Amino acid sequence: MSVAIVWFRNNLRLHDNESLTKALKNHSIVIPFYCFDEILFSTTKFGYPKIGVHRAQLLIESVQNLRENLRKVGSDLVIRVGNTASYLKHLSLETNATTIYTQKEITFEEVELERRVERVFNGSIEYAYDAFLFHPDDIPFALEDTPFIFTSFRKLLERNTSIRPCIALPSKLNNLSNRIQKGTIPSLNDFKFSNPIKDNRSVLAFKGGEDEANNRLNHYFYESQELLLYKEKRNGLIGADYSSKLSVWLWNGCISPRHIYWEVKRFEHEYYSNDSTYWLIFELIWRDFFKYTALKNGNKIFHSYGINGHQNLVNPNPEFVNAWIRGKTGIPFIDANMRELAATGFMSNRGRQNVASFFVKELQQDWRVGAEYFESMLLDYDVCSNYGNWMYIAGVGNDSRDRFFNVILQAKNYDSQGEFVRLWIPELNNVEKKEVHHPWASPKTLFNHLDVVDYPKLIILPPDYWKKHY
């Protein structure tokens, strides 16, 4: 009997899982394996935890659901915590496994882990590219010729590349031997986290797992049909359905981009197609663009000068960074977004663009510090998308043009009534609507007003280009 190990990584699902399907096809015994690797619970270069409590909880829930679904088809999940390479070595020796099947990752730490496994495992390792919409074997250009500009990338792929069909859900797996210690799923306390306090202001009660990912897709596409309004509402700030929120399940592969794509196509066939249905696919292509950019450029995406060699003006100021993190800059639109992130692990796309632009352009801080803080905090942290977007805002990525966001104008455009700001900054509840985005400019000597004494003063002088939007 031939034995294989399926090493689950950022592909925590049974549906559309090439590694699992190939292992089942080629081997009589398949052992599903997941390790909460020790590096995930270390710190970043600038000292932030690599994973915060919200994403850690989501990950634990995702692994729990994976185990439940494996048990439904007759198998189980071997779970370990610590050194992945060491555990895979011992499991392969214990079971006489000859092959490991796993998802290929593309950035430094993940690739280093693959190399460590390759050094200690005597058999073969079969990699699958399951995190892409457009499979790397199907793209119409060599990797080194990946277009620098998104529009060129998108048009080339849309004209020349088809999306592969999804791989069906397996109906039956082999039972695992009782001799194999399955392991228990760790708790947040095992990683020295306290259980997070649920905040009722969160846009959604996020929960990890393939089942929850499919529930969310079914709600957004078929139950509410909010997909039809995606393009018009995607810059929203409050509520569950201003966007799909599927990124929360894409990051660790509880759902595949191909699955989302083909569900959009099914929706268009059964109901209706419009700019919004296309725009969700458009965003999936952006996600692929950042992945191919990372594949092409390697560790440049982590350098201060990014992939285009531009060097930003940086004046390191720990007090500025701390105020930004705590939502205490004195700029309500920035602070509201940062407080939402801290409390829930989520922030809208519009919010992310604004707080990143403010951090880099106004505070003149190193964009990598902001990127690492997002890595720590975001529920949907994806290394390529996160660093790709931060480089983009900082002008060191795929577009060197100045991506500057006037935070006052943005606040007036996207939170015109101040509802989002008041939701997250109750100190400003009694401030008039026309002044809530720039309380320092109030004619009422605002900071002497008893109702807002707890809101901080501006940490920078307001520039003139803000003032014309008061």
Instruction: Detail the residues annotated as belonging to a binding site for FAD.
Output: 230, 243-247, 283-290, 380-382
> Which residue is associated with the tokens 């897709």?
217
How far is residue 355's CA from residue 102's CA, in Å, rounded to a whole number?
36
Say if CB 328 and CB 339 are below 8 A apart: no
Tokens of 10: 């950022």
Backbone angles phi, psi at 108, to 5 degrees: -50, -60
How far is residue 225's CA from residue 242's CA, in Å, rounded to a whole number?
12
Burial (CB < 10 A; 0-12, 13-18, 19+), residue 369, is: buried
How far is residue 177's CA from residue 75's CA, in Å, rounded to a whole number?
10
**Helix axes of 318-326 and 367-377: crossing angle, nearest 10 degrees:** 30
Backbone angles phi, psi at 191, to 5 degrees: -105, 15
Binding-site residues: 230, 243-247, 283-290, 380-382
Tokens of 445: 């000597």
Tokens of 35: 């390790």
Tokens of 348: 């809208």
Say if CB 466 and CB 452 are below 8 A apart: no
**227 Cβ contact partners less than 8 Å away, ≥ 6 residues apart:** 220, 221, 244, 264, 267, 276, 277, 280
Burial (CB < 10 A; 0-12, 13-18, 19+), residue 418, is: buried
